[in-house]
Amino acid sequence: MSSEEYILEQINQIKEQLLHQPDKPGLLHDLGVGYHLIGNYDEAIIQLNKAVHQSPGNKTYLFNLANAYAEAEEYHQAIEVYYRVLDIDAAHIPALNNLADSYEKSGSEEKAFEIFDYITRIAPDNALSYFNLGNFLLRKNRHIEAIKCYRKAVETEPGFTDAYYNIAWILAEVKALKEAEEYALKGLETDPENIDLIKLLREIRN
């Protein structure tokens, strides 16, 4: 059985349970998540909205509803719901990250940067926060600032292979090949079988 077939089976089971408990928020939420997992975001939004209606203070339901809106590229709706999550839990890092993503994808790049940067200040021990800010800066071709963020990520979490890769890639792009090789090798120390790093190291050395 494929993973999609398994999820469809779970969806059908939840639908049967809902025949007897049509307003149970946990079942509605799980049904929405199931639809999300198979890429049916419109139906996910319908079911997750029902769950939120039944349990408006549940931040997990709200977070998954916002994610479904974001996947459906309804970014303004997603932003509104992420803020509802943050009203309940102001330090909800996944909601903050996804809020910043939604702002960026909707064209509000300054707001996205503010939030990505804010996350690094409220979660200074979270390597992913520096990595995400670095990725944003890289997308804006702010390479030097991006490298600083990636270096902060590996200082915080020395095994952060993707951050080593991104540093090595940027350095290779600007022909700083010796430094690029050093970072690629550091990344391979943390993940010796990493295919992307092996390929990048080969390109650097050629």
Q: Which pLDDT tens digit goes with each residue over 76-130?
A: 999 999 999 999 999 999 999 999 999 999 999 999 999 999 999 999 999 999 9
CA separation for the pair 75, 125 (Å, rounded): 29
Which pLDDT belongs to residue 22?
Answer: 87
- Backbone angles phi and psi of 160, in degrees to 5: -80, 85
CA separation for the pair 123, 130 (Å, rounded): 9
Confidence of residue 1 (pLDDT cuts 50, 70, 90): low
Is 0.85 topped by the overall pTM?
yes
Q: What percent of the chain has pLDDT over 70?
A: 100
Given 3.30.360.10, 3.40.50.970, 1.25.40.10, 1.10.20.10, which CATH number is that of 143-206? 1.25.40.10
Helix (H, G, I), strand (E, B) or coil at 175: coil
Confidence of residue 18 (pLDDT cuts 50, 70, 90): confident
Residues 6+ apart with CB under 8 A from 66: 77, 78, 79, 81, 82, 84, 85, 95, 98, 102
* Ordered alpha helix ranges (H), the chain: 3-20, 25-37, 41-54, 59-71, 75-88, 93-105, 109-122, 127-139, 143-156, 161-173, 177-190, 195-205
Listed by start position, the domains of the chain span: 143-206
CA separation for the pair 91, 118 (Å, rounded): 10
Residues 6+ apart with CB under 8 A from 83: 99
Q: How many CB atoms lie within 10 A of CB 135?
A: 18
Q: Tell whether the model's pLDDT for residue 164 goes beyond 90.
A: yes
Which pLDDT belongs to residue 109?
Answer: 97
Which pLDDT belongs to residue 203?
Answer: 96
Q: Please answer whether residues 62 and 92 qualify as being in contact, where contact means their C-beta atoms are separated by less than 8 angstroms.
A: no
What are the tokens at 147?
Answer: 């490298």
Q: Which pLDDT tens digit goes with each residue over 50-70?
A: 999 999 999 999 999 999 999
What are the tokens at 95?
Answer: 């909601």
Long-range contacts of 28-33 (CB under 8 A, 24+ apart): 28/54, 29/58, 29/60, 29/61, 29/64, 32/64, 32/65, 32/68, 33/64
